[in-house]
Amino acid sequence: MSSAQTQSVRTGRVTRSFIYLFLLVSALFYLLPFFIMLLNSVKPLGEITGGNMMAMPEVFTLEAWKAAWSTAQVGVEPTGLRPYFWNSIKMVVPAVFISTILGALNGYVLTKWRFKYDTILFGLMLFSCFIPFQIVLIPMARILGIVGLSGSTYGLILVHVVYGVGFSTLYFRNYYAAFPTELVRAAQIDGAGFFQIFYRILLPSSGPIIVVCVIWQFTNIWNDFLFGASFASGSGAPMTVALNNLVQSSTGVKEYNVHFAGAILAALPTLLVYIVAGRYFVRGLMAGSVKG
């Protein structure tokens, strides 16, 4: 999104003030919930239950963060979110890696080595991104049970690769469609084979789309709840499931400050990616919706 071509609509003073007011109020709307969460995560519990959520903390404490990370009761064990955070990392890294590589190769084949019915095959892969995953839950649970992967990180890796490859293929296909086919032809005449063309010609120019794809897959897989809750609810659960267990636990006093710290911990990796590479994140969002 470049602002190179901003429109030259002229607006009056009153209209302009209204526009700024609207934009600022909206910004407040988007910022407030997260800001309040952050604010209250550094208060002792008493200040939250007895006080005003908008008030600045009277006592600044990181106890809630420590508790959320390493001692809070998640499910039955007082382990904090730490082990689940690593579960998520162990799941996300391989799943992102595999689905991105597969997507890159698929996109390469579907644009540069076209064959009969390739668009139909791509359509089948693309539709798989949009299905309600409820439709595959039952058989997936069965299969993971049969091959002994239920409750494990490996099972979730498989699931996320399977249901992520459609999007990664979409990204690389759209990107490579704009990559000049004449370069591939020239390399063929020069004597480069299928994989040589991919490694030597296409891959070195794929930096931006690799970033887009990795960010998208990372965000999606990290934030997934349905698959995690369905196939890995015990000690193998990913961060989102553990956070939900922490927040929903019905026993004892509701430790809001710990919940907030936990929620921010769960949000931190994707938020960090968004702050560092927001531009690519937006590109990924757009490419996933308005294709072309």
> Restricting to residues 173-232, which ones interact with other proteins according to CB under 8 A?
177, 180, 182-183, 185-196, 200-201, 204-205, 219, 222-226, 229-230
Q: Which of 72, 81, 125, 156 binds other proteins (CB under 8 A)?
A: 125
Six-digit token string for 173: 């296909």
Torsion of CA 264, 267, 270, 271, to 10 degrees: -40
Q: Does 169 bind other proteins (CB under 8 A)?
A: yes
> Restricting to residues 257-286, which ones interact with other proteins according to CB under 8 A?
259-260, 262-264, 266-267, 270-271, 273-275, 278, 281-282, 285-286
Instruction: Say if residues 160 and 95 touch (Cβ distance below 8 Å).
Output: yes
Q: Does 131 bind other proteins (CB under 8 A)?
A: yes
3-state secondary structure of 77: strand
> Restricting to residues 144-163, which ones interact with other proteins according to CB under 8 A?
161-163
We find the least distance from the C-beta atom of residue 56 to other proteins, in angstroms, to be 13
Instruction: Say if residues 211 and 274 touch (Cβ distance below 8 Å).
Output: no
Q: Which of 46, 62, 127, 148 binds other proteins (CB under 8 A)?
A: 127
What's the length of the chain? Answer: 292
Q: What are phi and psi of 77, to 5 degrees?
A: -95, 140
Between CA 81 and CA 249 the distance in angstroms is 14
We find the least distance from the C-beta atom of residue 252 to other proteins, in angstroms, to be 16
> Restricting to residues 42-61, which ones interact with other proteins according to CB under 8 A?
48-49, 51-54
